[in-house]
Structure 1
């Protein structure tokens, strides 16, 4: 008898979206899961929708929000669009929202909209 498994997942909490603008143009990028920690980034087995990320070496890593960090992980690439289940081992493709409107108060964790132009150079996002 074959072994079947059932997996139930959805888009996650997307209340952080300030409009529908940009959601049809999310691009696929790869998350370097080794740069994320289970306790901090995916304690429930998934990277939550709205997680801010940076692009370093062609892959997505956690965004460094420290205002003085304006290169590598300090440049916001966008936000993970939907919840992404992970085993914590294999890199995974994700939809990345890099333009549109974002309600900062509804993002997972603590996020402050970047002030430095260099931190915002890779996105076109209006923060609400």
Structure 2
């Protein structure tokens, strides 16, 4: 298993790349709709364009939220609390951090939050 900082930095770069691609895709959809005579309300293609814009916007927001989570995890690495559950103070299992590097809680506390 990689050093947590290295894994998180790699994940951060992948997320930044994904966000850049989504922004490019969003810009392309906006430009395409601007260059066409599509009327979002009345043109059958308009609803598709509006859906694509909405979907790309939602995916970009998810990527931005993930960047926030990664930055918080990097701060926990720097402070030495990365492997400590924020709720109960017990260790977060290595396999949980391997599967979800931005995890803030142990599996017990995560399960209790979703119950």
Report the TM-score when normalising by structure 2: 0.21
The structure in which a higher percent of residues are strand is: 1
Bigger Rg over Cα = 2
Report the TM-score when normalising by structure 1: 0.20
The structure in which a higher percent of residues are helix is: 2
